[in-house]
């Protein structure tokens, strides 16, 4: 899979297509099939065209979506998350799947495009009404802060339209109930579906290891930093405390509240991601 070579290219990775679970699922299952054959041969564009219903430009776009939602690596091998989804949720319809796709798109050190994190954590406020032009302005600010340059207005508008459609359209991440189109071109940010405990557990493990490496403890307040884990999932302190309490009882973490600064202590082992996914998909 070709790597993006410039910020402008990252901004248009979608090729004007909003996220489609059906399209991503076709590529995911083809990757799973190739992996089951134990072949080292890379999945080619020609094979994807022949074995899916995707058009030429769609193949390009949705290969990138499959990577950016955390389902495959940049070498198009299944991640632990992708392997679980391929077997337990082939239509990518489960709430756990869609929250984790959102997480990977939005995590600051994750595989998502840089602007997605910026928009998700600064633009999406419950009750806010947005247009693609509003989102485009935020995207332009993100590009300006990262590169010192202004993106072409058309490219920023296309990215804004794609971002909103990826959540609002039925074929996107609609189970999250995060963004609703209330009239043509106008969107409302709504109170989203609850985040399953083990989805947050998986994200906490992944976020911790990307942000803080092998550290054993971090300040509890670090989860509430602007753009941090709580804002990725739109959770307030009470909701986060409730989830952390469950994860503490399950011995994934410990939380020390004897005296400030309060601390979160990692208790998980090397198989924590897999364990969290097993729990998240236990009923499938």
pLDDT tens for each residue of 183-232: 999 999 999 999 999 999 999 999 999 999 999 999 999 999 999 999 99
Neighbours of 152 (CB within 10 A): 13
Do residues 134 and 249 share a domain? no
Helix or strand run (H / E) with residue 187: strand 186-189
Do residues 154 and 237 share a domain? no
Instruction: Give the span between the Cα atoms of 268 and 273, in whole angstroms.
Output: 9
Do residues 55 and 170 share a domain? yes
Percent of the chain with pLDDT over 70: 96
Q: pTM for this one?
A: 0.95
Do residues 67 and 170 share a domain? yes
Give me the CATH number covering residue 219.
Answer: 1.10.10
Do residues 45 and 182 share a domain? yes
Phi/psi-derived region of residue 234, left when phi > 0, alpha when psi is between -120 and 50, beta in every other case: left
Q: Which domain holds residue 168?
A: 7-189
CB 263 within 8 A of CB 214: no
Neighbours of 245 (CB within 10 A): 13
Token couple for 184: 């043509």
Cα-to-chain-centroid distance, residue 153: 25
Do residues 179 and 235 share a domain? no
pLDDT for 42 equals 76
Inside any domain, residue 20: yes
Inside any domain, residue 2: no
pLDDT for 145 equals 87
If one counts the domains in the chain, the total is: 2
Inside any domain, residue 23: yes
pLDDT tier at 8, thresholds 50, 70, 90: very low
CB 54 within 8 A of CB 48: yes
Inside any domain, residue 1: no
Task: Identify the domain boundary among 132, 163, 189.
Answer: 189
Task: Identify the domain boundary among 189, 210, 231.
Answer: 189
């Amino acid at each position: 899979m070709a790597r993006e070579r410039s910020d402008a290219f990252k901004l248009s990775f979608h090729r004007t297509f909003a996220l489609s679970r059906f399209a991503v699922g076709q590529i995911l299952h083809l990757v799973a099939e190739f992996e089951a054959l134990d072949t080292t041969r890379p999945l080619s564009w020609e094979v994807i065209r022949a074995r899916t219903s995707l058009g030429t430009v769609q193949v390009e776009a949705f290969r990138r979506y499959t990577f950016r939602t955390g389902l495959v690596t940049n070498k198009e091998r299944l991640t632990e998350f992708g392997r679980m989804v391929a077997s337990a949720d082939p239509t990518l319809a489960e709430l756990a799947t869609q929250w984790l796709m959102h997480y990977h798109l939005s995590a600051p050190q994750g595989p998502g495009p840089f602007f997605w994190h910026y928009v998700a954590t600064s633009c999406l406020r419950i009750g806010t009404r947005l247009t693609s032009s509003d989102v485009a302005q935020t995207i332009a600010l993100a590009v300006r802060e990262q590169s010192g340059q202004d993106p072409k207005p058309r490219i920023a508008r296309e990215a804004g339209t794609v971002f909103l459609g990826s959540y609002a359209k039925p074929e996107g991440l609609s189970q999250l109930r995060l963004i609703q189109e209330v009239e043509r071109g106008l969107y409302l940010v709504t109170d989203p579906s609850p985040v399953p405990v083990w989805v947050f557990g998986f994200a906490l493990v992944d976020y911790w290891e990307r942000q803080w490496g092998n550290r054993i403890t971090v300040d509890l307040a670090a989860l509430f930093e602007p753009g941090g884990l709580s804002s990725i999932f739109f959770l307030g302190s009470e909701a986060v405390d409730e989830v952390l309490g469950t994860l503490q009882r399950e011995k994934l973490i410990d939380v020390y509240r004897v005296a400030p600064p309060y601390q979160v202590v990692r208790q998980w082992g090397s198989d924590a991601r897999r364990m969290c996914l097993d729990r998240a998909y236990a009923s499938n």
